Structure 1
Amino acid sequence: MSEQRVLADAYGRVATDLRVSLTDRCNLRCSYCMPAEGLDWLPHPEVLTDDEVVRLITVGVRSLGVRDVRFTGGEPLIRRGLVDIVRRTRELDPGLELSVTTNGLGLERMAGALAEAGLDRVNLSLDTLDPKQFATITRRDRLDDVLRGAKAAHEAGLTPVKVNAVLLRGVNDAEACGLLAWAVAHEYQLRFIEQMPLDAQHDWHREQMVTAEEIFERLSREFSLSPASEPRGSAPAELFLVNGGPAVVGVIASVTRPFCGDCDRVRITADGQVRNCLFAREESDLRAALRGGASDDEIAQRWVAAMATKLPGHGINDPTFLQPDRPMSAIGG
């Protein structure tokens, strides 16, 4: 058995939450993420195989203290081996928390199989309930598919279904209250996320971002919001009871109220690179080690070394901040 280590950085933070990107490809073209024509996808040989993905997760769980695994993309539901990867990950430890972040396309068809394989819950990205607005933002007319997917996930027991929404100034920012009313009615947990500088076009501008303060002000016009009693801990969302509860809403203020000091996350890209921060400009290659015959212990050592270089914060509010070369779709949330 390999030596037990932790994924610690120089500031005392320990990563136990692993985000695994299964593909950089996506079947939507959200305007704040990528251009209408899409991107140059990773060549297939560069993408980790199912066995390689499971092997890295195994090292993380058995040797490095990982307790939460979230599968991301791109869009992870288009990865053919997703259900089997979930099943094999669940077999590592029944106590793991397993989730998927998805745009919901295909979720109606796959929710039952994912639940049976051992998935605990889903995070669903949805920014609007208006079909025309959805088509404008995503450049695809697929809102009904997403809504059916959310319903199927809820019925399959992949709960709580968490819905992630980004408000865009002058586009869907007037829908905040409508989104929350819908989420409460369907027993989903809504999370509003400040737009971050992770678009492929590098077109993010601070003044266009709808801030957490603005989101809270808008919601307070129609709802009574009070801080949830439980501490946030390392979770990115500040939670508020809606009209006294039990429903809650979250606000993730990555830009205006960064929570880097409590971060417990680490990411593996679809091509096997360790990213110790969502905004990191450097990566550490584990794919080469995998394909070069390295042992699990050697891979663990490389991973530990990669985490040791993590910076104290993402630096968005620093005048010298530079957006990472990879867009969000190629990093994995």
Structure 2
Amino acid sequence: MLNFTDNYARSFYYLRLSITDVCNFRCTYCLPDGYRPQGANNKSFLSLDEIRRVTRAFAAAGTEKVRLTGGEPSMRRDFTDIIAAVRENKGIRQLAVTTNGYRLKRDVAQWRDAGLTGINVSVDSLDPRQFHAITGQDKFEEVMRGIDAAFDAGFSKVKVNSVLMRDVNYRQLDSFLGWIRTRPIQLRFIELMETGEGGDLFRRQHVSGESIRQYLLEHGWVLQARARSDGPAQVFHHPDYLGEIGLIMPYEKDFCASCNRLRVSAVGKLHLCLFGDGGVPLRDLLENDDQQDALQARIASSLSHKKQTHFLHQGNTGITQNLSFIGG
């Protein structure tokens, strides 16, 4: 069986598939001015059949996990159908979504019935007023009820993403830890990453996750081993907590050494890195079912161009103007 492997012996078991770049939130670190179309192709997002074909090609090459991203994936009216289409691939054992949570309460049960196995919800503050200030939406209580609904629907764990910002949530660690003491939530602190449109914010608010890691280690938290299709988080467990802490630190040395994920944008381009310089077009090979071998071959050959690391340390953010563009 063909496996997707690059020149640095990294194998790719994880696909992050963006299905829209539209989002209804205006988060300060991503879309502070709200959603703006990225160009002439913005309305032509991958169709259900194209999604079926691209995920089939990845599954046939050993992909075990798919994450549906955006923008906000649930803005797609056919989102439940997309879940079911991806789950047609028996080799895909995990299918997750990253969402702002505003439709969780209403729809999460049907998402689970369609085959969704994992949920990440973005929550950058446990203070409703600060949540409103960050997202531009007064939806904190609605998102909290959505997380409860996910547990009610049968999800045993929910992951919560929180972008680490110096003057916003960095000092709320105690509140976050209290929140997960009795809840099976994996709280993931993500270092703020510089994008083309977010340089000023990055310089004001970036803080390394190293201080949180040191705090956790000094207070009895233990680092867990990674599975091969896991994301980039360093996950910590504590015997007194039902929840977990994950740290995603893209500025740490050797962050890219364990890279196991590829990205396909909502308009059908393969991105070898979130902060790469361009994308490899795949859409011409998604028109029918007869081009699967050619599609796999193009993806495999593209991996020879994947660089050993990103260049965020040098301030090079590639083509990523904001995190909704490729899917974060």
Relative to the length of structure 1, the TM-score reads: 0.90
Assess, with a 3 A threshold, how the Cα gap between structure 1 residues 180 and 41 changes in structure 2: closer, same or farther.
Answer: farther
Aligned partner of 2:124 among 127, 146, 152:
127
Q: Match for residue 237 of structure 1?
A: 233
Q: Tell whether 2:14 aligns with 1:17.
A: yes
| Distance in 1 of aligned mates of 2:214 and 2:8 | 34
Q: Tell whether 2:322 aligns with 1:324.
A: no
Q: Match for residue 182 of structure 1?
A: 179
AA aligned to 1:171 is: V
What percent of counterpart residues are identical?
35
Kept after mapping to 2: 8 A contact 1:36/1:139: no
Kept after mapping to 2: 8 A contact 1:232/1:239: no
Q: Tell whether 2:153 aligns with 1:156.
A: yes
Residue 206 of structure 1, CA deviation? 4.7
Residue 82 of structure 1, CA deviation? 1.2
| Distance in 2 of aligned mates of 1:95 and 1:205 | 36
Question: Which sections of structure 2, spanning at least 5 residues, go unmatched?
Answer: none
Aligned partner of 1:59 among 53, 57, 60:
57
Residue 207 of structure 1, CA deviation? 5.9
Aligned partner of 1:277 among 251, 263, 273:
273
Kept after mapping to 2: 8 A contact 1:29/1:140: yes
Residue 283 of structure 1, CA deviation? 0.8
Q: CA RMSD in A?
A: 2.3
Residue 217 of structure 1, CA deviation? 5.0
Q: Tell whether 2:265 aligns with 1:260.
A: no
Residue 326 of structure 1, CA deviation? 4.0
Question: Which sections of structure 1, spanning at least 5 residues, go unmatched?
Answer: none
Q: Tell whether 2:189 aligns with 1:192.
A: yes
Kept after mapping to 1: 8 A contact 2:24/2:34: no
Kept after mapping to 2: 8 A contact 1:200/1:328: no
Q: More displaced, 170-179 or 53-62?
A: 170-179
Kept after mapping to 1: 8 A contact 2:194/2:315: no
Q: Secondary structure at the match of 1:92?
A: coil
Kept after mapping to 2: 8 A contact 1:122/1:159: no
Residue 323 of structure 1, CA deviation? 3.8
Q: More displaced, 156-165 or 179-188?
A: 179-188
Q: Deviations over 1:32-71 (max 9, x none)?
A: 1023243225545531111111111011112x11110111
Assess, with a 3 A threshold, how the Cα gap between structure 1 residues 138 and 258 changes in structure 2: closer, same or farther.
Answer: farther
Residue 114 of structure 1, CA deviation? 0.7
Q: More displaced, 97-106 or 225-234?
A: 225-234
